[in-house]
Amino acid sequence: DLLVVGSANADLVIGVERRPGAGETVLGSDLVTHPGGKGANQAVAAARLGARTALLARVGDDAHGRLLLDSQRAAGVDTVGVLVGGAPTGVALITVDPSGDNSIVVSPGANGRLTPEDVAAAGSLFHASRVVSAQLEIPLETVEEVVRSLAPDSRFVLNPSPPRRLPAEVLAACDPLIVNEHEAKVILGEGAAGVSDEPADWARLLLAKGPRSVVITLGAEGSLVASGEGVTRIAAVAVDAVDTTGAGDAFTAALAWRLGAGASLEEAAAYASRVGAAAVTRRGAQDSFPTAEEVGAL
């Protein structure tokens, strides 16, 4: 089984002709509200593929929290670990201009109140999970407690987004650490200075920081898998991309699920590439995630 520990947000989207300046008001389109947040997205992506999935997260006791619980349950996610209350549900206020550029303000809300104590109290979810997947839209102390709570034979997958420097204890637990180019640069910090723009070189430098394995996602260029056994390039699946929102979440969820099912890292990444490719052929995040049948048909 897969346990996702992470954020759940309501994404509130308004189309605008142009963004307001300070003190100014502009009129926009009708509001569209989507369930989102990297934790919630990963859980839905995995469950839609057929993975037995649970989510450990926190939402507010409000309409956005109910929207998130409903979307998780509709996808078949076990929500026994979704805690309610303590702060309003996390929100992303998104304006989109006619060129498609986004401006986003995030209020972490209840995501910021998912505490190490909440993780410690969820021991039974950890014991039932072969793979635990996390991101960084919750407090870092909470992610540190996740690492300490792993069952002895379970595997930890981390997508450090939004990226920040990580403690050695967290890095050492990652198998794999999954990063895009921007996240790789932040994790490498000063180590990124003077490095070639060859992703295989970053992968080796990232491995030297302690994770057991590393995956670098490269959008339409596919991905790269690195472990003690070497670096392997995983080809992208050629599709007509419509919207890349959520591709990374779909990729990570699919990879974590396949690893839990016994696939090698290369096999899991090849499957995840197909899932990421399917997700970019449709608009939205959770709405774009494919079923296993749709992945098979690709």
**Burial class of 230 by CB neighbour count within 10 A (0 to 12, 13 to 18, 19+):** exposed
Look at strands 32-36 and 9-15 and give their pairing: antiparallel
- Cβ distance to ligand ADP smaller for residue 125 or 280: 280
By CB under 6 A, residue 135 contacts ligand ADP:
no
Q: Which of 59, 131, 214, 247 binds ligand ADP (CB under 6 A)?
A: 247
11-24 as b/e, with b when 16 or more CB fall inside 10 Å? bbbeeeeeeeeeee
71-103 as b/e, with b when 16 or more CB fall inside 10 Å? bbeebebbbebbbbebbbbbbbebbbeeeeeee
21 is in an annotated binding site: no
Q: How many residues bind ligand ADP (CB under 6 A)?
A: 19
Is the distance from CB of 285 to CB of 245 less than 8 angstroms?
A: yes
By CB under 6 A, residue 231 contacts ligand ADP:
no
By CB under 6 A, residue 180 contacts ligand ADP:
yes
β-pair partners for 231: 226
CA gap 273, 285 in Å, rounded? 16
Cβ at position 153, least distance to ligand ADP in Å: 28
Strands (E), the chain: 2-5, 9-15, 32-36, 53-59, 82-84, 90-96, 102-107, 131-134, 155-158, 174-179, 213-217, 223-227, 230-234
- Cβ distance to ligand ADP smaller for residue 72 or 217: 217
Q: Which of 42, 72, 79, 217 binds ligand ADP (CB under 6 A)?
A: 217
9 is in an annotated binding site: yes
Q: Which stretch binds ligand ADP (CB under 6 A): 169-177, 202-210, 217-225, 290-298?
A: 217-225
Q: What one-letter code names the amino acid at 6?
A: G
Q: Which stretch binds ligand ADP (CB under 6 A): 121-129, 133-141, 193-201, 271-279?
A: 271-279
By CB under 6 A, residue 273 contacts ligand ADP:
yes
Cβ at position 92, least distance to ligand ADP in Å: 15
- Cβ distance to ligand ADP smaller for residue 162 or 230: 162
The values of phi and psi at residue 140, to 5°, are -60, -35
The values of phi and psi at residue 124, to 5°, are -65, -35
Q: Which of 223, 227, 286, 288 binds ligand ADP (CB under 6 A)?
A: 223
Catalytic residue positions, numbered = 249
By CB under 6 A, residue 241 contacts ligand ADP:
yes
Q: Which stretch binds ligand ADP (CB under 6 A): 46-54, 100-108, 135-143, 275-283?
A: 275-283
Q: Provide the binding-site residues for ligand ADP, judged by CB under 6 A.
A: 180, 217-220, 222-223, 236-237, 239, 241, 244, 247-248, 251, 273, 276-277, 280
